[in-house]
Amino acid sequence: MATVLEMPKLSDTMVTAKLLNWLKQEGDAVEEGDAIAEIETDKAAMELEALESGTLLKIVASVGEELPAGAVIAVIGKPGEDAEAMLAQRPGA
């Protein structure tokens, strides 16, 4: 089953983070722990790692976008899974 990747809350004071760069593209295979994007918080710039292995099915967030902690940024799953259906099932979608 596909997993929605959210902007992590990396500190108690973090409210938002800026997406600086995608290191992987839609359709790329990713392994748990792979750096998939670069983000910038109020304190530092860092790499965002995949929390599971699979395929980067959908990129939701755009480079340069300032996002709140918990915002959906991507979907990782098995090739052929319907990322749009996964996103539609989320509360508030």
For residue 33, the enclosing domain spans 3-88
Q: Cα 69 to chain center, whole Å?
A: 11
Neighbours of 41 (CB within 10 A): 19
Q: By C-alpha distance, which of 16, 68, 15, 17 is closest to 39?
A: 17
Question: Region 72-85: what's the mean pLDDT?
Answer: 90
Please state whether the predicted TM-score (pTM) of the whole model is above 0.75.
yes
**Predicted local confidence at residue 92, as pLDDT:** 60
Helices (H), the chain: 83-88
In a domain, 16, yes or no: yes
In a domain, 93, yes or no: no
Which DSSP symbol is given to 75?
E
In a domain, 83, yes or no: yes
Residue 50 belongs to domain with CATH number: 2.40.50.100
Report how far residue 14's alpha carbon sits from residue 25's, in angstroms, rounded to the nearest whole number. 26
pLDDT band at 93 (very low <50, low <70, confident <90, very high): low
In a domain, 7, yes or no: yes
Q: Count how many domains the chain has.
A: 1
Tens digits of residue pLDDT in 4-24: 999 988 778 788 999 999 999
